[in-house]
A and B are shown apart, each in its own frame.
Chain A
Amino acid sequence: MAEKRKIKLIVNGVEMEGEAEPRTLLVHFLRDTLGLTGTHIGCDTGHCGCCTIIMNGVSVKSCMVLAYQAEGAEILTIEGLAKDGKLHPIQEAFWENHALQCGYCTPGQIMSAYFLLSRNPNPTEEEIRRGLEGNYCRCTGYVNIIKAVKAAAEKMQKAVK
């Protein structure tokens, strides 16, 4: 039986520490050890994307990463998006465009959108669909999610100008 040991990660700008064993998945470490339950689990095979977070600047499915692999990494979860109570434009856009219903896939959708827009600030619809391909949603049929990402892109571009 493998021993647990402490690992440190930088999560939402704060250094955090917790115990993990080799088989602890990053998503469980975030949820159960660090108490950041905004990242969700929806499948066993890395398909649904509910567990999507940003690790060292890129979107990853945290259920497909060992916690040990994330040791020392910079992690951004849904809890880290809003600053001082002010929502991120992507969060605002999701709210304004009714891009969520049950909300279970929503953190993952938002983090994937965050990565997409960080690389491609003005994506076409096709590019949005491709960027969110790894995020399943059963409630919305994706229509409003795509609208929201477009709206978020516009907001973010306006803010830059």
Chain B
Amino acid sequence: MSQAILCKEIPVPRKWVGTPIKTKEAPRLITGRGKFIDDIKLPNMLYAALLRSPYAHAKIKRIDTSKAEKLPGVVAIVTQEDVLKWCKPYPQIVPPPADKLLDYPIAVGKVRFVGEPVAAVAAESRAIAEDACELIEVEYEPLPPVLNAEDALKPDAPLVHEEVGTNLVWHEVFEYGDVDKAFAEADKVVSLKLHFHRFGCPPTEPHAVLADYDKGTGVLTIYCNNQMPMFCMALIGLSFNFPTEKIRIITPDIGGGFGSKILSYTYMMLISILALKAGRPVKWMEDRRENLAAGTHCNEVTFYVEAAAKKDGTILGIKAKTLHDVGAYLRYEPVGALLWIQVSSGPYRFKNLRMDVNAVVTNKGPVAPIRGYGRIQHLWMLERTVEQVARQLGLDPIEVKLRNYIKPEEMPYVTPSGATYDSGDYPTALKKALEMINYEEWRRKQKELWKEGRYIGIGAALFQDSGTNNFAQVRLIYHKNPFSGNSRMAEMWMDEFGRIIVAVGSNPHGQNHETVVSQVVADVFGVTPDDVFVVPGFDSWVHGWTGHAGTYASQFAVSGIGAVLGAAKRLREKIATIAAHMLKAKPEELEFRDGKVWVKGTDRSVAFWQIANLAYRNILELPEGVEPGLRVIYTWKAPFKLPDMEKKTVNATLTYSYQAHACVVEVDAETGKVKILDYAVVDDCGIPINPAVVEGQVHGSTMNGIAAALYEEFVYSKEGQLLSSTFMDYLFPTTLEIPNVKVEHMITPSPFTELGTKGVGEGSLVPLGAICSAIEDALSPLGIVITDSHNPPERLYRMIKEAQKRK
């Protein structure tokens, strides 16, 4: 059982793990020598542009590409006809009847959201391709759109997918403990309707695909910036009429992903079809308007919550009905509607929970597993609810949270859904964050400030991040889904000159895998990170992969590193066997140091290159039974089990990083604008392999959360037009909007991983909790309750004005 350590020094007995070395990726990126998809040029390459639907909902009556085809420079155009020849519909992971939902890389028969691709053009230049798109004539018959989950469930609602027969694509009730008893025993029952808004995490690099079909070998190479392409192969393989063994997937440098680059398999296939038709390589880069409309959104959720509590604020139980607005297609949904099971009771210890979960399709952009997928909505809901319990009981919300937190000595803690938290000290983390913003002093000053008419508030929240998920979780959606567990493959070899090379099956996009892997491997072999070369990027013909491969869900430090450690130990063992033979010693008597293998306590050694010489060139001198070569593969497997289908429980996450955020805000009552006066974060990701890398991700996820809470929102008109369609209106915050963020680190090592690391990176967008909490605190003299995750000035202004009138 691990103890929390608040510290700046990392207590690991290793030389490189735990040190904030400069990254290996930086040199090429700071000199403009990174290689992103759009930087790649192949001979004879064409450029693609996509024609997209201007309607939220419409039948496609006719597509006429004849004028576009005649434009000089246009080489090929793909429409639904071509796609139907090349593709079967994508398999869905929901039970019937929604499994009949038809989903293709392009709109077929009708368009279901503004921005849905309708045609693809390949031409000699992007400019010509865009001109050609304007010449394609599409005759639409507009249909009434359905634009929110509640409307979509009405009996007379237009159907987004007629073939399904309903807009309710998944409904399931999960019941844990004894919810009715909890409510019967409650001193207080609190009811809330909450809305978690629609936003995204658009990275600075949009989607891009370069498809290259070699007519000679029949190999289709897809260069893409998808962050989980081998996971996508399941969908590509089952839908694309192209031999899977001849598909090669390459990801070079990727300009950020945040989950939004997981579901671009639709584009990988569409551009491939275009390349096959054109007979030449085709490159497509998404523009920002396309990206904001279609390149994916975060789950939008409406919650109807009730909480049962004792009068001292102890939460007895919670029941929630959720409506997940997942947009026009499912894709990886309804997993987003399910993943609250990874954090079912959040940081709290109540045991009684009922979740009535509903996933609904609407005529809006499709959603994807974006940063904190499925958990951020649930954790935000829990924070709002616990705070309302406190306020309605006349108690301090922060005190109530602390009272209900799981205690460190209760770890590992099994939550109602079966999710098992590995370690953590939530109360200490929250208290530390509050200390960092001088909580006591602000509380003292607060009442005076309120009297002066200054609405200043303090908020704090703690959200957990999951790392390394159990894919078996999708069986709780439909028992037949053939997915389970989690695994990662790594290949490692020493060349004949003694240099170490690693190929990991990940698709990093800012996580600095080349750096952290070098650190871990350096410790195993007693060398420096500079002696370890990590093959950059990903190539499915070079990097080993399993169906769980990719960079997502905050897990590389556990799964990827697990594979790397396994491979490193396997390779080290083989090297030790050969070295022992050469040094006439026992393997246990050896140590690895400074690029050589030594007999402990002596000056007898043999260099790596000498060992490698035997393995590669001089094989008759190898010891008996040892195969030539120094190349190993290791596949790490997470110690998961299949779900209990009757109880609907599963341990779906191996490790849990978490962050406690505390902030002070001032709400300008005259305008509704929120200013952040102070912001502090305490982050715990177990043992950090590279503390600088981790801290950078904490900064980034904090900014992401602040952006979501105060700036970024996808807003649709009542006709279903996306009004926040460019960065003019989709408000990506700048240096002038994001304050300085103070960060401290805590370490509660994970008992479930070899190095004590926990997956980290998503960060769970805790500002959504902390800022809503602080705004509500600031406006508490007016009795205002915050029920929206996004609070732009006008909304707060109206609430303030109404409250002031009531007074």
Q: What's the least CB distance linking A120 to chain B, in Å?
A: 15
**Contact status A104-B256, CB under 8 Å:** yes
**Contact status B702-A104, CB under 8 Å:** no
**Contact status B206-A42, CB under 8 Å:** yes
Whether a CB of chain A sits under 8 angstroms from the CB of B727 is yes
A-B contacts, 18 of them at CB < 8 A, read A38-B31, A41-B38, A45-B728, A48-B288, A81-B31, A98-B695, A98-B696, A101-B512, A101-B696, A107-B30, A107-B32, A128-B735, A129-B736, A139-B700, A141-B699, A142-B735, A143-B699, A144-B696
Whether a CB of chain B sits under 8 angstroms from the CB of A62 is no
**Contact status B256-A133, CB under 8 Å:** no
**Contact status B256-A138, CB under 8 Å:** yes
**Contact status B258-A138, CB under 8 Å:** yes
**Contact status A44-B289, CB under 8 Å:** yes
**Contact status B31-A78, CB under 8 Å:** yes
**Contact status A143-B256, CB under 8 Å:** no
Give CA–CA (A132, B734) in the complex, Å. 8
Whether a CB of chain B sits under 8 angstroms from the CB of A155 is no
Q: Contacts of A40 on B, CB cut-off 8 Å?
A: 36, 38, 204-205, 255
Q: What's the least CB distance linking B562 to chain A, in Å?
A: 23
Q: Contacts of A71 on B, CB cut-off 8 Å?
A: none
CB contact list, B407-459 vs A, under 8 A? none
Whether a CB of chain A sits under 8 angstroms from the CB of B201 is yes
Known: A47-B726, A138-B700, A138-B732. 9 other contacts (CB 8 A): A24-B127, A28-B126, A41-B38, A42-B288, A43-B288, A43-B727, A101-B512, A139-B256, A139-B696
Q: Contacts of A125 on B, CB cut-off 8 Å?
A: 740
Whether a CB of chain A sits under 8 angstroms from the CB of B339 is no
Whether a CB of chain A sits under 8 angstroms from the CB of B27 is yes
Give CA–CA (A35, B31) in the complex, Å. 14
**Contact status A103-B726, CB under 8 Å:** no
Cβ 8 A contact of A137, one of B27, B127, B204: B204
**Contact status B205-A104, CB under 8 Å:** yes
**Contact status B32-A36, CB under 8 Å:** yes
Whether a CB of chain A sits under 8 angstroms from the CB of B287 is yes
Q: What's the least CB distance linking A59 to chain B, in Å?
A: 14
Q: What's the least CB distance linking B463 to chain A, in Å?
A: 16
**Contact status A102-B510, CB under 8 Å:** yes
CB contact list, B718-734 vs A, under 8 A? 726-728, 732, 734
**Contact status A103-B702, CB under 8 Å:** no
From known contacts A44-B288, A77-B32, A95-B23, infer whether A101 and B203 are also in contact, taking CB-CB under 8 Å: no
Q: Contacts of A21 on B, CB cut-off 8 Å?
A: 127
Q: Contacts of B697 on A, CB cut-off 8 Å?
A: 101, 139
Q: Contacts of A35 on B, CB cut-off 8 Å?
A: 41
Q: Which residue of B lies closest to A101 (CB)?
A: B510
Give CA–CA (A24, B205) in the complex, Å. 21
Q: Which residue of A lies closest to B27 (CB)?
A: A95
**Contact status A141-B726, CB under 8 Å:** no
Whether a CB of chain B sits under 8 angstroms from the CB of A146 is yes
Q: Contacts of B512 on A, CB cut-off 8 Å?
A: 101
**Contact status A102-B734, CB under 8 Å:** no
Whether a CB of chain A sits under 8 angstroms from the CB of B39 is yes
**Contact status B703-A106, CB under 8 Å:** no
Give CA–CA (A141, B27) in the complex, Å. 21
Q: Contacts of A15 on B, CB cut-off 8 Å?
A: none
Cβ 8 A contact of A98, one of B23, B126, B206, B253: B23
**Contact status A130-B692, CB under 8 Å:** no
Give CA–CA (A60, B254) in the complex, Å. 24
Whether a CB of chain A sits under 8 angstroms from the CB of B584 is no
Q: Contacts of A141 on B, CB cut-off 8 Å?
A: 699-704, 738, 741
**Contact status B30-A104, CB under 8 Å:** no
Whether a CB of chain B sits under 8 angstroms from the CB of A54 is no
**Contact status A48-B34, CB under 8 Å:** no
Q: Which residue of B lies closest to A24 (CB)?
A: B127
**Contact status A138-B30, CB under 8 Å:** no
Q: Contacts of A139 on B, CB cut-off 8 Å?
A: 203, 256, 510, 696-697, 700
Q: What's the least CB distance linking A36 to chain B, in Å?
A: 7
Q: Contacts of B205 on A, CB cut-off 8 Å?
A: 40, 42, 102, 104
Whether a CB of chain B sits under 8 angstroms from the CB of A26 is no
Most buried by B among A38, A79, A130: A38
Whether a CB of chain B sits under 8 angstroms from the CB of A9 is no
**Contact status B30-A95, CB under 8 Å:** yes
Q: Which residue of B lies closest to A105 (CB)?
A: B204
Whether a CB of chain A sits under 8 angstroms from the CB of B234 is no
Q: Contacts of B31 on A, CB cut-off 8 Å?
A: 38, 78-79, 81-82, 87, 91
CB contact list, A25-81 vs B, under 8 A? 28, 31-32, 35-45, 47-48, 50, 77-79, 81
| Binding site secondary structure of chain A | loop
Whether a CB of chain A sits under 8 angstroms from the CB of B369 is no
Q: Which residue of A lies closest to B28 (CB)?
A: A103
Contact flags B31-60 to A (C-beta < 8 A → 1, else 0) = 111111011010000000000000000000
From known contacts A78-B32, A134-B734, infer whether A42 and B696 are also in contact, taking CB-CB under 8 Å: no
Contact flags B200-224 to A (C-beta < 8 A → 1, else 0) = 0111111000000000000000000
**Contact status A23-B127, CB under 8 Å:** yes
CB contact list, B684-715 vs A, under 8 A? 692-693, 695-697, 699-704
Whether a CB of chain A sits under 8 angstroms from the CB of B187 is no
Q: Contacts of B728 on A, CB cut-off 8 Å?
A: 45, 47
**Contact status B703-A142, CB under 8 Å:** yes
Contact flags A88-106 to B (C-beta < 8 A → 1, else 0) = 0001001110101111111
Q: Contacts of A98 on B, CB cut-off 8 Å?
A: 20, 22-23, 692-693, 695-696
Give CA–CA (A107, B32) in the complex, Å. 6
Q: Contacts of B531 on A, CB cut-off 8 Å?
A: none
Q: What's the least CB distance linking A79 to chain B, in Å?
A: 5
**Contact status A94-B30, CB under 8 Å:** yes
Give CA–CA (A38, B32) in the complex, Å. 4
**Contact status B34-A103, CB under 8 Å:** yes
Q: Which residue of B lies closest to A79 (CB)?
A: B32
Q: Contacts of A41 on B, CB cut-off 8 Å?
A: 38, 285
Whether a CB of chain B sits under 8 angstroms from the CB of A136 is yes
Whether a CB of chain B sits under 8 angstroms from the CB of A11 is no
Whether a CB of chain A sits under 8 angstroms from the CB of B26 is yes
Whether a CB of chain B sits under 8 angstroms from the CB of A110 is yes
Give CA–CA (A82, B32) in the complex, Å. 10
Whether a CB of chain A sits under 8 angstroms from the CB of B535 is no
Whether a CB of chain A sits under 8 angstroms from the CB of B511 is yes
Most buried by B among A77, A94, A95: A95
Q: What's the least CB distance linking A117 to chain B, in Å?
A: 15
Give CA–CA (A135, B738) in the complex, Å. 13
Q: What's the least CB distance linking A35 to chain B, in Å?
A: 8
Whether a CB of chain A sits under 8 angstroms from the CB of B509 is yes
CB contact list, B732-767 vs A, under 8 A? 732, 734-736, 738, 740-741
Q: What's the least CB distance linking A19 to chain B, in Å?
A: 12
Cβ 8 A contact of B704, one of A43, A129, A138: A138
Q: Contacts of A38 on B, CB cut-off 8 Å?
A: 31-34
Q: Contacts of B33 on A, CB cut-off 8 Å?
A: 38, 79
Q: What's the least CB distance linking B593 to chain A, in Å?
A: 28
Give CA–CA (A17, B636) in the complex, Å. 53
Whether a CB of chain B sits under 8 angstroms from the CB of A140 is yes
Q: Contacts of A82 on B, CB cut-off 8 Å?
A: 31
Q: Contacts of A32 on B, CB cut-off 8 Å?
A: 41
Whether a CB of chain A sits under 8 angstroms from the CB of B82 is no
**Contact status A43-B699, CB under 8 Å:** no
Q: Contacts of A43 on B, CB cut-off 8 Å?
A: 287-288, 726-727
Give CA–CA (A77, B30) in the complex, Å. 12
